[in-house]
Amino acid sequence: MDAGQLLRSRALADRAATLTDDPREHARLAGVRAAIEFEQGSPRAAHGILMAAAGPLSATDPDRSASMLLEAVRDAWFAGAPELAAQAIDGVRALGLPAGHRLRPVIAALTGLADLLAGDPARGLPPIHAALAAARRSAEPAGPGERLIMASMAFMTGDDETAADLSARLAGDCRAQGLIGWLPHALQNLASSLLYLGRFQDAHASAAEAVRVAEDTGQHHRVDHLQGVLAWLAAVCGEEHECAELAGRVRAHAGAHGNVSSLAWAVWAQGLLALRQGRARAALEELEDGLTGAVRHQLTTTLFVPDLVEAAVRCEQPERAGGPLARFEEWAAAAGRPWAGAVALRCRALLAGSADAAGELFAEAVRLHQDGGRPFEEARTRLLFGEWLRRTRRKSDAGLQLGRALDAFERAGAHPWAARARAELRAAACGAARPAAGRWRARPGC
């Protein structure tokens, strides 16, 4: 299984099941079958296999029972099923593991994940923050599954640097130890973190390699998720045909198997592509459907809210953005990341009812972006601020923001966004722009 030989692993598990009556061994075999079902079938079905096998072990082997139940929480996340996550967490709590148990950080993190899945980031993110801190302090080596969980938890808090570090180290260990079965997931996490860090070419390389390995090892769910990530990258980098093709594949396969985490990336990619193409109404409808449809419980749907806000404003229907923005702001407040707060302010600026309010909000968003995180989002904030400044005839200030945005887009390889910034610079008739004296002048360093 660790070597990525899923078909052989399934056959061995089926043979082994006929050779023992030991419930602990049957539980181990159920774990193998669930992992294969997750990668090749349905996360809901994988959850059911784990729940059925974990129960009989609660008295004789609570550690193994807890590990299986925690895997079931992960499956519930990918299935977008908060009720299944709550069921597994209730099972873990019933085990009564001691406070100092080695699984406590993972239990805390996945309990938070269950709350996040249920739409309560204020309750869900604090234990995830604490679990990440405990994992950093721990000297006890963790297995690849637990390390993947910790990297995934870093994503939930918007801590892209930690996610990238954990994922890169795990990917290296998978290569060194021949853990080919784990490598696509490690590379998937690495690709996602590099994407958020604005390193689009590196993200594409990691995701493309992971797709090749996942296809070779029959990890169909992993292929879906990775193709969703690649579709998003294609949308940002101007590969329109590739985005549509990849997203279509994900919708067809992941939708049929209930892999809503993968499906959410396809929804985001197509919504972002429509927004970038100037089809604001199509983008708004696509993303609204995501917020109310099968993928509604995924964190990805929270992260694409700023795109929905921009689409609603471009459609001159800002009233459709209020509820979704409240959802993003709740997560941003619980995550505590400067970039998230800045993006929330950017959205408020777009929805502001007065020029004074919009200018203040944009300026504060740019200031907050200085504290780091998600450079692509910072560039988009500067682009929107620059467009606003140009419309209010503050051309010199507009040139400063648009120039910074253009540089960031060009470094990332976000060519369509760079073209938009370049066109705005031409419209503002800006040469070497510098801040003009006035109310909307950026603070030093902005």
- pLDDT tens for 67-119 read 999 999 999 999 999 999 999 999 999 999 998 888 887 888 899 999 999 99
pLDDT of 444? 34
pLDDT of 140? 63
Average pLDDT, the chain: 91
Joined tokens for residue 326: 């409240």
pLDDT bracket for residue 443 (50, 70, 90): very low
Residue 280: helix, strand or coil by DSSP?
A: helix
Task: Note the pLDDT tens digit of each residue in 136-155.
Answer: 777 666 788 888 888 888 98
Residue 166 has pLDDT above 50, yes or no: yes
CB 185, CB 145: distance < 8 Å: no
Nearest Cα to Cα of residue 443 among 368, 367, 355, 365? 367
Of the candidate ranges 35-39, 98-102, 320-324, 337-341, the one whose mean pLDDT is the lowest: 98-102
Contacts 24+ apart (CB under 8 A), 32-35: 32/1, 34/68, 34/71, 34/75, 35/1, 35/71
Residue 16 has pLDDT above 80, yes or no: yes
Task: Give the single-character DSSP code of 318.
Answer: G
Residue 135 has pLDDT above 60, yes or no: yes
pLDDT of 147? 87
Which conformational region is residue 238 in: left (phi greater than 0), alpha (psi within -120 to 50 degrees), or beta?
Answer: left
Joined tokens for residue 200: 């689009």
Task: Note the pLDDT tens digit of each residue in 189-219.
Answer: 999 999 999 999 999 999 999 999 999 999 9
Residue 251 has pLDDT above 60, yes or no: yes
Joined tokens for residue 415: 């060519």
262-283: average pLDDT = 96
Q: Helices (DSSP H) in 178-239: which residue ranges?
A: 183-196, 200-216, 220-237
Which conformational region is residue 119 in: left (phi greater than 0), alpha (psi within -120 to 50 degrees), or beta?
Answer: left
Residue 440 has pLDDT above 80, yes or no: no
